[in-house]
Chain A
Amino acid sequence: MYKIVVLAKQVPDTRNVGKDAMKADGTVNRGALPAIFNPEDLNALELALRIKDDYPGTVITLLTMGPIRAAEILREGMYRGADAGVLLTDKAFAGSDTLATSYALSKAIRKIGDFDLILAGRQAIDGDTAQVGPQVADKLGITQITYAEEIVSLTGKTIRVKRRLERGFEIVEGQLPLLITANGTAPECRPRNAKRLMKYKMATTLSERHNVSDDYLVNNNDKPYLNITEWCAKDVDSDLAQLGLGGSPTKVRQVENIVFQAKESKVLTPVDDDIDWLMQELITNHTIG
């Protein structure tokens, strides 16, 4: 009933950057980190799936911009209930900041066609900017509701959304079409559905099929749902000047490791004498008391 586009990103798992991910010279080894479905985009997908629960016939298209392997998250989304996936991939996108990314995504959405609602996670765990959602909305000429925790109601074109703010909440009402970004506090995404996993595990993009040897070249003419749409910059009618590094107003001047000032520590044991001594020190030099 509703046509929903969910924006998702495949990201390195920056939440647990342990010693293995840091190279000897102190820089980050992206290759060592597993690539995952951006967590808040999964929250966004769940909000879309709940609308589909209430309104069967709703079509959810998952759109991602990334390298060829980003198709992995499209399959992941389909295992959980998305109806179709679109991969936007092209070397021309390399080096895109949020403005160039939102431009490319908005072109892809226009090519997908009419939509009632766009859902995206609030932010990705690698860039952490929370900018792409709102910028896509601006480029599509629709308004936005950010920091969404819950879709309170949806009837016809009227949607009510609960927003989680710093010190409280807000319930706002808007008219479709619009864009919503979902917080990490929104409901967790449901797990993979076994039947959907069986159905979609062989779904591939054109590039993925080209990368495999001829013996396994799968002809999906009789199973169109196994074709994951793949578009390049030209396919979505985009202006090269607005893509990639050249289309990005922001540039990285430098990247550094974080170094904290180390101090000479005085090490104490938890015996009464040591603790009494420390407390007296603090009192004497007026740090406490």
Chain B
Amino acid sequence: MNNVCVYCEIEEGRIQEVSFELLTKGRSLANQLNVQLEALVIGNNLAGVEKEVSQYGVDIVYVADDPRLYPYTTLPHTVIAVELFRETQPQIVLMGATSIGRDLGPRISSSLGSGLTADCTDLQIGNYEDKKSGRKYESLLYQIRPAFGGNIVATIVNPDNRPQMATVREGVMKKEVIAATNEAEVLKIDVAKYLDDAAFAVKIIERRIESSKINLKDSSIVIAGGYGVGSKENFNLLHELAHTIGAEVGASRAAVDAGFAEKERQIGQTGITVRPKLYIACGISGQIQHIAGMQESAMVISINNDPNAPINKMADYVIHGNLENIIPKMIQYYKKNIK
């Protein structure tokens, strides 16, 4: 009772990265609150799934296993989660801010009359005083997220309603194996008890999911291009440099919107969060929304012909000039000096 619960989402029989990241964060929150960490997995062919999650410090895994539960559709997952939460009464429920989490989360919160905060960039435990009523609350979940188009950061709390729910985007939290030998207790959910045919009203006719060819999140060097790169052709320079030094190519939202790079490469608040040891920003002005996705880079180089680009203020090295001149020189030096 009163634990932290993470809804784990599945694709192709495997639990997704964002769920592991949230289990790690969930474990940390559960430790601070002195409660247990629960995982909820709903899908098909889930035998042994507890082995995937145990090492993240999960105490209990609730499993709902039925062929009709994968791929995800709204009602079956909602009904199972709501009925379970009515019984187990978690104080906090977390899920990924994905097309699943953002479809499921609001449904669950509406059913339970609880508050949900979407796209949180940080979660903390803290106290709160309601200025109107004077009531004081302890150990609430601070749900921290950008607001107003990403230009400010808000801290949201759910003082009275339970569970306190939050969705978090993939890559925002870091995943970490806590205890390789941990063994979570498995509790099977009786699916037939909760679901009738009406719950399966939506049928999936066709589905095509591609595994990502680009792994920006785990790249130790990222070369990102902004609107200033100017064209899809110029982006080839970034690809060449990346290929030469062993990096991956990212892009700002403006570059993606202009068609210079694929959406998968977008870094920022509505894209991916990266933490490379080196981030080379090419023709990126540095909007808040973009910086939010790369501010933890160990080293930043900014190549820009605008000396006042905001990103320059957080760069270790700033090169004033045109990337069409600069990048080829970098490639040349590297090839000459590295065997």
Contacts and interface: CB of A to CB of B under 8 A. Distances in A.
27 contacts: A14-B148, A99-B109, A99-B113, A131-B118, A134-B74, A135-B107, A144-B107, A172-B73, A172-B203, A172-B205, A248-B115, A249-B161, A250-B117, A250-B157, A252-B155, A253-B128, A260-B314, A263-B314, A263-B315, A265-B302, A265-B313, A266-B318, A268-B318, A268-B319, A269-B321, A282-B278, A288-B246
B105 A131 contact: yes
A14 B154 contact: no
B313 A163 contact: no
B151 A128 contact: no
Interface of B: 71, 73-75, 78, 98-99, 102-103, 105-107, 109-111, 113-119, 128, 130, 142-143, 146-161, 201-212, 221, 245-246, 264, 277-278, 288, 291-292, 295, 299-302, 312-322, 325-326, 329-330, 333-334, 337-338
The 9 closest A-B pairs by CB, nearest first: A14-B149, A270-B321, A249-B115, A250-B115, A249-B161, A168-B209, A138-B110, A134-B106, A131-B106
Given A128-B119, A165-B209, A17 B149 contact: yes
Interface of A: 12, 14-15, 17, 21-22, 27-28, 97-99, 102, 125-135, 137-139, 143-147, 160, 163, 165-175, 248-258, 260-263, 265-270, 272, 274-276, 278-280, 282-283, 287-289
A155 B155 CA distance: 46
B287 to A, nearest CB: 9
Among A139, A167, A175, A288, the most chain B Cβ lie within 10 Å of the Cβ of A288
Most interface-central of A143, A249, A251, A280 (chain B CB within 10 A): A249
Nearest to B292: A258
Contact of A160 (B157, B161, B205, B221): B205
B154 A138 contact: no
Residues of A contacting B: mostly: mixed
A273 B113 CA distance: 64
Contacts of B118: 128-131
B204 A256 contact: no
A167 B245 CA distance: 27
B202 A266 contact: no
A116 to B, nearest CB: 15
A165 B295 CA distance: 27
Contacts of B143: 250
A130 B105 CA distance: 10
A176 B71 CA distance: 21
B73 to A, nearest CB: 7
Contacts of B322: 270
A146 to B, nearest CB: 5
Contacts of B292: 258
Contact of A167 (B114, B157, B211): B211
A251 B156 contact: yes
A172 B338 CA distance: 52
Nearest to B198: A143
Contacts of A171: 204-207
Contacts of B299: 287
Contacts of A131: 102, 105-106, 109, 116, 118
Contacts of B98: 166
Contact of A254 (B154, B204, B291): B154
Contacts of B206: 170-171
Contacts of A97: 115
Given A167-B212, A268-B317, 11 more contacts: A21-B151, A169-B208, A173-B205, A255-B147, A256-B155, A263-B300, A263-B315, A266-B317, A266-B318, A268-B320, A270-B319
A279 B334 contact: yes
Contacts of A99: 109-110, 113, 115-116
Contact of A134 (B110, B204, B278, B320): B110
Contacts of B128: 251, 253
Nearest to A279: B333
A254 to B, nearest CB: 5
A148 B71 CA distance: 17
